[in-house]
Amino acid sequence: MDSKNLIVTGGAGFIGSHLCEYLLERGHKLTIIDNFDSFYSRNIKEQNIADFKNHPNVKFIEIDILNYDLLIDVLQDQYDAIIHLAAKAGVRPSIENPKEYQKVNVEGTQNLLEVARKKNIQQFLFASSSSVYGINENIPWKESDGLLKPISPYASSKISCELMGHVYSHLYGIRFLSMRFFTVYGPRQRPDLAINTFSRKILKGESIPFFGTGNTKRDYTYVSDIVDGIYKALNYNATMYEIFNFGNSNAITLSEMLNELELVLNKKAIIEKVTEQPGDVSLTYADIEKAKKILGYEPVTFFRDGLKKFKEWFISYESNF
């Protein structure tokens, strides 16, 4: 691929920082936008970008995507694409603060679509979520299944963005590709997510909150597989609007995940059973045939191997804080 000039929002986050490294290794120029949202520590995000923030092909801008006028003002170059990862994250917190999730995720995405429209940026990649399927019983979930049953404000905000992307694609000729990520894990994973939280508590000898019976399932997808999928989507130019599942197509129970984590960490967990949380779905399971066929997407990381890589990072990271 020829060198591109790209806008990456949320570039200091978990997936975003991995993506930025990947793009820089391939010679692309990046304008990275992040506002260091207080959902988790700024120090974590600063460490995520420490190795590339001052790279000669990086322009880092600390800005809130809700500040449309400033976005228009500071984004002065010619850009080939926007990769929009920035969002208010988390299913459970969205139930506590639904208006904020609607505002940031939907209005923020529209601001970026307006940037694309005003500056004639032809390609827009959007980070959606498996949570949009909600309690849809048609397993495994396919992009062609229009029966979405979201059960959290976070999920509904992502659906709203997908639909708005279709509007902008239709009206203004912006290619909009929605990427539905399935339970991403790996080095730099957010501290609120299960694998990170469980690892910290296991190693400290603290009890972990174990929701329900342990039979809920997640389609865990390693971060480098997600990044490879994003890169393949960046090259896609056949149609103007598409939705792709980026998962592993291998649902693993909470109990199985914990067993694997205990093996990798070589320590048993202390379990504290708690009730299921509102907004959480019982199963996520991706049908990835469309992404395989159209994009050549192919996850290659086995779950235990991914956990081992996570452990290496986690041990090193924890020793620095």
The catalytic residues are: 154
Q: What is the distance, to the nearest Å, from the Cα of residue 219 to the centroid of all Cα atoms in its chain?
A: 14
CB atoms within 10 A of CB 135: 11
Please tell me the distance from the alpha carbon of residue 111 to that of residue 3, in angstroms, as a whole number: 26
CB atoms within 10 A of CB 285: 20
Please tell me the distance from the alpha carbon of residue 252 to that of residue 187, in angstroms, as a whole number: 19
Q: DSSP label at 102?
A: I
- Give the contacts of 140 (CB within 8 A, at least 6 positions apart): 249, 285, 286, 287
Residue 56 near residue 31, CB atoms below 8 Å? no
Residue 109's H or E segment, with its range, is helix 108-118
